[in-house]
Amino acid sequence: MARVESNLSRPSVSYAAGLAFREFIPRQQDREPLTWTNAPNAFLYLIPYFFLAYLVRRQGTYLMRLLLLPTVIAMTLRCTFRYIKDDPSLLWYEWNRGLLAMFVIAKSIDFALAKEGRLKLGEKELRRSHDNDGSPRHAGKERAAELLGRSPAARFLPRSVFDALEVGLTMRGVGWDFGKYTPIPRSSRPAERHAYVGAVVRDLIRNILLIDILDTVTKQVPGVTPTGGSIFLQELPPIERYALSTALHIAHGVTIYAGVCIVYDVTSLVGVILFHQSPSLWPPISGHLLEARSLHDFWVKTWHQAFRYTFLTLGGFAGQWLAGGIGMVFGCFAASAMFHEFGLLVAGKEPDMRVFIFFLLQAVGIALEKAFASLTGRRVGGWLGFLWTAIFVLGFGQICTDAWFSRGVGGAISIPPFMSVVRMGLLPLVRFVIRNVSGSSLLEL
């Protein structure tokens, strides 16, 4: 009799588990269309997230943070997967909504597991929960002024809100105890505030125009649409086919690179202008791509480091615990693949194993570099190192870009057409000139 009851209970438990799972991650056909009206609901998880960020800056909150973590993760998943923007042309924005959710989950895990909380460099201890005003008991007037800055915006915000925003929005940990895990590129921008703002604005304009040009040109390729496409045009001969696929792959990579720089630079302007932060707190987000002479250099020094600590939290530290340094490398790249695919799952796309293959190949390449250095006593470098890096990034990387293009990333809108200088002005002008030149040529013939 007990055996019969046990057998009968298994389907019901499985069924209940399925219902619970679908409550947080519903089927695509059961998701609600995302509109301006319900958009606030899609981001409600940010409220408990920033409360967790507040707690990580207060003494004696470790147990509270551990207990709050499941709620933050569950709410993030439910709010994110409950809604969908079913317009394929807006895939970039849905993808980024998914990336934000995964970033919040990673940060929440870090906040919950940081037993001593998160300290700024130079801080000895955290504030008590009831000390929200930078009281002299802990800091003194000069320290309070330093923490709040001289900007009216910083003074207007309550200390608790400012603390939560500060640690909740930081990604690399510049000026924080966890920043030691992320190498910081050497800055070429001026340290003086006004000159720094001018340099950032120039870089912003350059990167926006760069994305505009690359995005416009990419969408002229036959077959690249918001519903799918490929960087490999089978109707072309092999040389032309792979020359085009390489060009599209580079254009897509530069678009991502420039897009991350734009978001970072806009944020830095808010920090420097509105909150009167020092430009030294905003070092470059990346190095120079062409300076990489090994795969390790490319991913650690030249590619953007915005999500490095996120990948360490989601997989790197676990990999290190299991298999040391090489485990950390594989854990980070596995987490990176999961991170990128999560964004597309939120957008309603099926996962593509080619993305995981690409990222794990990067880990294999770095492991081979470490083996080479161990056997020869020399690091990978020079022009051969550059060629080696290009094989992994420009060669193997094409399978990843094609996996994204096949799900509509290449044809989706990155810059709205009405905001596109190239599409609204330059492209019609080029077409006009081509039509007139070709017409004149025909008349002359």
- DSSP letters of 20-54? HHHHHS--GGGSEEP-TTTHHHHTTTHHHHHHHHH
Tell me the three state secondary structure of residue 83. Answer: strand
> DSSP character for 246?
H
Provide φ and ψ at 58, rounded to 5°: -130, 145
Helix (H) / strand (E) element for 397: namely helix 397-405
pLDDT tens for the 445 residues of the chain, in order: 445 455 545 567 788 888 888 888 898 888 999 999 999 999 999 999 999 999 999 999 999 999 999 999 999 999 999 999 989 999 999 999 999 999 999 999 999 999 999 999 888 888 876 655 544 444 444 444 444 444 555 567 788 888 899 899 999 998 899 998 888 888 888 989 999 999 999 999 999 999 999 998 898 899 899 998 999 999 999 999 999 999 999 999 999 999 999 999 999 998 898 888 889 889 999 888 889 999 999 999 899 989 999 999 999 999 999 999 999 999 999 999 999 999 999 999 999 999 999 999 999 999 999 999 999 999 999 999 999 999 999 999 999 999 999 999 999 988 887 788 887 777 777 777 777 765 554 334 3
Q: What is the CA radius of gyration of the chain?
A: 25
Residue type at position 140: G
Q: In this predicted structure, what is the pLDDT of residue 430?
A: 72
- Other Cβ atoms less than 10 A from the Cβ of 261: the count is 22
- Other Cβ atoms less than 10 A from the Cβ of 32: the count is 12
Q: Which pair of tokens denotes residue 367?
A: 């492991």
Q: Which of 335, 305, 303 is nearest to 318 (CA)?
A: 335
Instruction: Find the largest Cα–Cα distance for the chain.
Output: 97
- CA 195 – CA 202 distance, rounded (Å): 11
Contact yes or no for 144/134 (Cβ under 8 A): yes
- CA 218 – CA 207 distance, rounded (Å): 16
415's CB contacts (< 8 A; 6+ apart) are: 208, 211, 212, 215
Q: Which pair of tokens denotes residue 16?
A: 């209940």
Q: In this predicted structure, what is the pLDDT of residue 4?
A: 47
Per residue in 201-240, is it b (16+ CB within 10 Å) or e — as a string? Answer: eebbeebbebbbbbbbebbebeebbbeebbbbbeeeeeee
C-alpha distances out from residue 274 to 152, 155, 188, 278, 282, Å: 8, 11, 23, 11, 14
18's CB contacts (< 8 A; 6+ apart) are: none
Q: Where are the alpha helices (DSSP H) in 149-192?
A: 152-156, 159-169
Q: In this predicted structure, what is the pLDDT of residue 139?
A: 44
Q: Which of 297, 308, 353, 300 is nearest to 332 (CA)?
A: 308
Q: In this predicted structure, what is the pLDDT of residue 15?
A: 82
